Chain A
Amino acid sequence: MPRPAARALRETGFYFGVAFFVILAAFPFYWMVITAFKQNSDLYDVTNIPFWFNEPPTLEHIKYLFEETLFARWLLNSLIIGLCVTAITLVTAVPAGYSLARMTSRKGEALGITIFLTYLVPPTLLFLPLSRIIAELGLQNSMWALVLVYPTFTIPFCSWLLMGFFKALPIEIEEAAIVDGCSLFGAFIKMAIPLSIPAILTVVIFTFTLTLQEFVYALTFVSSSDQKPITLGVTTDLIRGDVFFWGEIMAGALIAAIPVAIAYNLFLDRFIAGITGGAVK
């Protein structure tokens, strides 16, 4: 076979492969976007082509969300829960990851793996004992129950992630700071933290996304509409019996997804650096 032909074939194969995965990843998002703006008559007419607008787009679903449901409240709840959980996670996981990374001998590593293992226990098992705790604390049917529970899965993973990153930081920088007049804590604040901003941003995005998409705990611990986070509100209040409010569900999902998508794109490079930072020396 002549070389140019072989090359063309290889490149075509490559782009087909890439195109396949791009479509696979982007299609659900596309489906969500067009459904959110379709008129109901368009949406429920089975003779229409479902992949494009057959009737003019509309904002009626979004209007319905904000006027007829507690959607704005759910958004606010999710935001408050996300911010609180992120703050709790940072305050605990940053020092935890740092101490695990700087513990001499193999103890640190073993402890780090143990902490990571707790992340692998599924919420579908943990909600049973946790519901007892929530009841004891009198937090049933309150979004503060979620602020308390979500760190149980964000802290282990984030501690582990940060441990890997701190291990890759040269210890000489902190030691130089200690000799130059800092305490151990001072060196941590002035050197380790500013230098691990990429990892800390990763933790922020990761934690926020996890809390935004969590469902099982929210379903278990919250039942009043005004206490629900967005995942729960959309799926419980917009599916009434066997009636699915598809346009509203998709509009709700779209609005919740946009800020996260923007955040990811802004910090994508740093995010990847944070994820892989501790992996390769």
Chain B
Amino acid sequence: MAAVLTRDIVKKFNEVAAVDGISLRVPDGEFMVLLGPSGCGKTTFLRIICGLEQQTSGDLLIGGNIVNEIPPRARGVAMMFQSYGLYPHYTVRNNIAFPLRTQRVPREEIAKKVEWASQLLGIDHLLDRRPRQLSGGERQRVALARALVREPTALLLDEPLSNLDAKLRTSARQEIRNFQQRVGLTTIYVTHDQVEAMGMGDRIAVIDHGRVRQVGTPPEIYENPADLFVATFVGAPPMNIVSRNGGGYLGFRPENFLPRDMIEDGGATEFSFRVDRSEYLGSERIVYGVMEGFDSKQPITAKLPPAHVAEDSIRPGEWHPFAVKNSALRHFDTSGNRTTSH
């Protein structure tokens, strides 16, 4: 296990920069999530770390050593692919044993380690099957067992849950996280799903157009987004952004945008809000509308707490007094960067 450090990594495909200068430090044992929309360069960045792509410039350090020129097999990292990349002509046992065989580990030791990894992931009853005889969840575990069996310096995961159905995804998320904490493995996890990122990461790096927009713990990313991209990418529904008089933007989360009477006095900013549409989601109600005197590209959303869920006090088509606590307001300058810390 080792720390992974990148210094100003750039990767260009035909003069187009897919990765545009990423510097990132993943300390030993950390679970780092790379979060970004599809095509933002996060998978390319992961492939550079494991050595399947060569960076155009920049340095990559694993465990303190520069590994720019070192081939993938000597880097000691393990990677789990989106489609798992299991070997279809091998049994599960041989799939898991493969990374050890290429390292010429003695036979008895291979058997021992395969047993260890398969028990850890609860797939020891599947060892003699072939990948095509497994369900999606089982395949994912086999891929994980294969990645772990040789105790890699770092584990790289490329959207490992995207082939699972929604229910399985929730439990698999838990499993991967628990397992990572137990083994204490440095992990870099690529996803476009913010729920996975928020729920699993020790820290999140939000990436867009090949650049890191913000690195921080999930609460930091959510509460204090560094710029408009992070503010609108993280959170569902995303942060409300309105143009501010005198330039710049004002942002606030839908759950902080409440009817005036629900906010205790002191330090709140009032707005007049006209509800256009309202969605009942069981545990909450999301209302969409416009704010008097403010321009916004998207409809303004408010997430109303259970007290307001059942009743129809918020009627569409009417203007209501709403407010946001001043501590929940975020300010951005004209170029989209946050101007104040609170």
Residues on A facing B (Cβ under 8 Å): 170, 172-173, 175-183, 186, 191, 194-195
**Judging by beta carbons under 8 Å apart, are B79 and A179 in contact?**
yes
Bound form: Cα–Cα A178–B47 in Å: 12
Is B71 on the interface with A (CB-CB < 8 A)?
yes
Bound form: Cα–Cα A255–B39 in Å: 60
**Judging by beta carbons under 8 Å apart, are B77 and A179 in contact?**
yes
A96 CB, min distance to chain B CBs, angstroms:
23
Bound form: Cα–Cα A186–B150 in Å: 19
Bound form: Cα–Cα A182–B71 in Å: 10
**Judging by beta carbons under 8 Å apart, are B83 and A170 in contact?**
yes
- Residues of B within 8 Å of A176, CB to CB, are 79, 81, 84-87, 146
**Judging by beta carbons under 8 Å apart, are A179 and B52 in contact?**
yes
- Residues of A within 8 Å of B103, CB to CB, are 181
Our pick among A180, A183, A186 for the contact of B99 (Cβ within 8 Å) is A180
**Judging by beta carbons under 8 Å apart, are B52 and A177 in contact?**
no
**Judging by beta carbons under 8 Å apart, are A179 and B72 in contact?**
yes
- Residues of A within 8 Å of B52, CB to CB, are 175, 178-179
Our pick among B71, B88, B102 for the contact of A180 (Cβ within 8 Å) is B102
A105 CB, min distance to chain B CBs, angstroms:
8
**Judging by beta carbons under 8 Å apart, are B72 and A170 in contact?**
no
**Judging by beta carbons under 8 Å apart, are B89 and A181 in contact?**
no
B133 CB, min distance to chain A CBs, angstroms:
17
B255 CB, min distance to chain A CBs, angstroms:
40
A173 CB, min distance to chain B CBs, angstroms:
5
Is B73 on the interface with A (CB-CB < 8 A)?
yes
Bound form: Cα–Cα A36–B302 in Å: 90
Our pick among A170, A194, A195 for the contact of B85 (Cβ within 8 Å) is A170
Q: Contacts A172-B81, A186-B102 known; A179 to B51 CB distance under 8 Å?
A: yes
Bound form: Cα–Cα A191–B88 in Å: 9
30 CB < 8 A contacts A-B: A170-B83, A172-B81, A172-B82, A172-B83, A172-B85, A173-B85, A175-B52, A175-B79, A176-B79, A176-B84, A176-B85, A176-B86, A176-B87, A177-B87, A178-B72, A178-B73, A179-B52, A179-B72, A179-B73, A179-B77, A179-B78, A180-B73, A181-B73, A181-B98, A181-B103, A181-B150, A182-B73, A186-B102, A191-B87, A195-B88
B159 CB, min distance to chain A CBs, angstroms:
12
- Residues of B within 8 Å of A182, CB to CB, are 73, 102
Residues on B facing A (Cβ under 8 Å): 50-52, 71-73, 77-79, 81-89, 98-99, 102-103, 146, 150
Q: Chain B interface mostly helix, strand, loop or mixed?
A: loop
- Residues of A within 8 Å of B72, CB to CB, are 178-179
**Judging by beta carbons under 8 Å apart, are B87 and A173 in contact?**
yes
Q: Contacts A176-B79, A179-B79 known; A194 to B98 CB distance under 8 Å?
A: no
A-B interface, 6 closest residue pairs, ranked by CB to CB distance from nearest: A181-B102, A176-B85, A172-B85, A180-B99, A181-B73, A172-B81
Interface Cβ pair total, 8 Å cutoff: 57
**Judging by beta carbons under 8 Å apart, are A183 and B71 in contact?**
yes
A174 CB, min distance to chain B CBs, angstroms:
8
Bound form: Cα–Cα A172–B160 in Å: 13
By beta carbon, the residue of chain B nearest A180 is B99
Q: Chain A interface mostly helix, strand, loop or mixed?
A: helix
Q: Contacts A173-B88, A191-B87 known; A180 to B98 CB distance under 8 Å?
A: yes
**Judging by beta carbons under 8 Å apart, are B88 and A183 in contact?**
no
Q: Contacts A179-B50, A180-B102, A182-B102 known; A195 to B89 CB distance under 8 Å?
A: yes
**Judging by beta carbons under 8 Å apart, are A183 and B73 in contact?**
yes
Bound form: Cα–Cα A172–B143 in Å: 12
Give the one of A170, A172, A181, A191 with max B CB within 10 A.
A181
B13 CB, min distance to chain A CBs, angstroms:
9
Known: A175-B52, A176-B85, A181-B150. 8 other contacts (CB 8 A): A170-B83, A178-B51, A178-B72, A179-B77, A180-B78, A181-B98, A183-B71, A195-B89
Bound form: Cα–Cα A175–B83 in Å: 11
A75 CB, min distance to chain B CBs, angstroms:
36
- Residues of B within 8 Å of A195, CB to CB, are 88-89
Bound form: Cα–Cα A170–B88 in Å: 11
- Residues of B within 8 Å of A191, CB to CB, are 87
Bound form: Cα–Cα A183–B72 in Å: 8
B302 CB, min distance to chain A CBs, angstroms:
44
By beta carbon, the residue of chain B nearest A172 is B85
A142 CB, min distance to chain B CBs, angstroms:
42
By beta carbon, the residue of chain A nearest B100 is A181
Give the one of B71, B72, B83, B89 with max A CB within 10 A.
B72
- Residues of B within 8 Å of A194, CB to CB, are 89
By beta carbon, the residue of chain A nearest B80 is A176
B93 CB, min distance to chain A CBs, angstroms:
15
Bound form: Cα–Cα A27–B79 in Å: 58
Bound form: Cα–Cα A191–B89 in Å: 8
By beta carbon, the residue of chain B nearest A176 is B85
B18 CB, min distance to chain A CBs, angstroms:
13
**Judging by beta carbons under 8 Å apart, are A180 and B146 in contact?**
yes
- Residues of A within 8 Å of B146, CB to CB, are 176, 180
Bound form: Cα–Cα A176–B81 in Å: 8
By beta carbon, the residue of chain A nearest B76 is A181
- Residues of A within 8 Å of B89, CB to CB, are 194-195
B136 CB, min distance to chain A CBs, angstroms:
15
Bound form: Cα–Cα A186–B146 in Å: 18
- Residues of B within 8 Å of A175, CB to CB, are 52, 79, 81, 85
Bound form: Cα–Cα A186–B79 in Å: 18
